[in-house]
Structures are given as structure tokens and as C-alpha cells.
Chains A and B, each alone.
Chain A
Amino acid sequence: MATSTTEAVAGAAPEHGEKIIDPIHQFQIHKIIDLGPFSLTNSGLWAIIAVVCVTLLFLLAPKQLIPSRLQSAAESIYEFIHNMTEEVLHENARTYFPFVLTLFTFILFCNVLGLIPYSFTVTSHIIVTLALALVVFIGATIIGFIRNGFGYLKLFVPSGVPIYLLPLVVIIEIVSYFIRPMSLSIRLFANMMAGHMMLKVMGGFVVMLGVAAGWLPLIAMVGLYGLELLVAALQAYVFALLTCMYLSDAMHVDH
């Protein structure tokens, strides 16, 4: 089986021309339906597919006492995020659970759908992840000011710091607060982009080695693909967890 797959990959190689490894090509956005500024791009198409998949998963999952596989999948995602919000947000968990679940499932499905060959990873573009991160950041900041008034600024003044160190600590706290959307978006985008480029580069090595020697690295590729699946789920989890933590900061300034 390994050999036939290698042949298929090698057979497809000449289409790319001289340069077999071109890891950037897969991230190009092109229009599918041209409508001027409202054009449907491949990025938009895969975002829509992700939303449809999430919706279908939660709508089609049967509600039986003995769960089917689909129901187990839907329920374990639900329970996982439910436990996470309970752990981090405590009494406010019910308020923000729908938002965190939506965010998690959307990012998870974008990441995992991007692993399908010839598909497009929506989250591999920084504009998408930055938009998601800014929603979280601005939302959490507004909630913080609504809940605590100007007491929210206490977040920048940690208690128990010696007075002569306080100006420095406050500056560091402010910088680290405003760097949050950057780190949140760059983490997701860099993981997705680097992961897909790595798969493409390593896949290119398999093609270069050909049928004779390519099957051994092909097995390594399967392992690498498994790692990328782990990273796809993990990054969605990290994004959701950090969202919870930022919301928790907005709730309880004193801690």
C-alpha cells in the first residue's frame, strides 16, 4: 500500500514544474466566485464549510441514552469545554460557555479541515487569527471595565510588590496586557502555517526519493501527520483556554 501511495505522489510531482517543494503555494487566496469586494475566496469557502460541519455535528448528533459515535463526539467536545470553563471561570462559566464553545469548535474544525490534502487552512492566515484574538481581547477589556469600573486598572498594579519596583512592574504589566492579542493570534497562525509547510517540505523529500527509497520517509510522514492532528486540536484548546483566562482576569481583578 505504501508503494502505491508513493507512486501517486511521485506521479503528481511534475505538475509543479521545476521546483517540487513550494510550501507557500498552498496558502494563496484566490477568488472562487468573483463579486468585487464581496467575492467568495477559498478561505471564505473553507470557513463556511467549517461552520456547516460544526452545525451539522451538533444538530445531527442523536440524543439517545446509549450514545452513537457521532453523539459521543459532540458530547465529548461539549463536556470538555464545559469542564474547562467551570474550572477557570467558576460562577461565571454559564455566561461565557457558549462563546468559548463556538470559538473552540470553529478553530478546531478550521484546523482539522485544513489537514485534508488540497484543502485550505483558514487559520493559517494571521488576519483571521488576529480578528478572532481582537474579538476576545476587546471583549474581555470591555467586560472588565463594565464589571469593575476603573477598578479594572488594578490589574496592572499587582499587590505585594515593593514600592521602588512598582513603576517598572506596572509598565511590564501594561505591555504584557497589550501584547496578548498578538501572542494569541501569532501562536495559532504560526503553528498552522509552520505545520503545513513542514508537511509539504517533508512530503517533497518523499517525492524526491521516489518509489525506491521513499516508502520509509512516507511512514515517518504518517507520524508527522499524527503530530499535526495533535497540534491542530491542541492549538484550538490553547486558544479557548487563554480566552477563558482573559475573561477570568476581567471577572476577578483582585486575584
Chain B
Amino acid sequence: MEVDAAKMIGAGIAAVALGGAGIGIGHIFGNYLAGALRNPAAAAGQRGTLFLGFAFAEATGLIGFAVAMLILYG
């Protein structure tokens, strides 16, 4: 297989990681919203935890994105 073609395929596979990050972020915000609607009084206090979870979930996906970019252009 040509190296360029293999690079493209590799970058595409590495980008799959973003799908997992999407699922994770959806879970976090969805569950936060569900919890906030049940108990709106406690919602504001957990916003820090929400964004912490969002940052954790996003970081894993971004590592995949960075790998894809490094394969393509690095």
C-alpha cells in the first residue's frame, strides 16, 4: 500500500476517537440536565463538576484528533 494512502486511512481511524468524546459529552450534559430538572436548587452548585467532566471527556477525543493531525501533517 502506498504510504500516503495508509496515512489517510490511519488519520481517519484516529478521528474515530472524537465519536467517543461526543458520546461522553452528551452523557455528561444530558445527565446534568436530567438532574438539574429534578432538583433545580442543587444545579448551580454542580456546574463546576459539570465542566470538569466535560473537560475530561473532551480531552480524550482531542488526543485522537491531535494524533490524526500529526499523522496527516506531522
Contacts and interface: CB of A to CB of B under 8 A. Distances in A.
Do A and B make up one complex?
yes
Interface of A: 21-24, 186-187, 190-191, 193-195, 197-198, 201, 231, 234-235, 237-238, 241
A187 B59 contact: yes
A186 B55 contact: no
Nearest to B59: A187
Interface string B58-74: 11001101100110011
Interface residues of B, number: 16
Interface of B: 48, 51-52, 54-56, 58-59, 62-63, 65-66, 69-70, 73-74
A195 B65 CA distance: 9
Nearest to A80: B48
B9 to A, nearest CB: 18
A235 B65 contact: no
B65 to A, nearest CB: 5
A45 B44 CA distance: 39
B73 A191 contact: no
A118 B68 CA distance: 23
Most A Cβ at <10 Å: residue of B58, B62, B63, B73 = B62
Contact of B62 (A24, A194, A238, A241): A194
CB-based closest 10 A-B pairs: A194-B62, A187-B59, A194-B66, A194-B65, A190-B63, A24-B73, A238-B55, A197-B69, A190-B62, A234-B55
Given A23-B69, A24-B73, A197-B69, A186 B51 contact: no
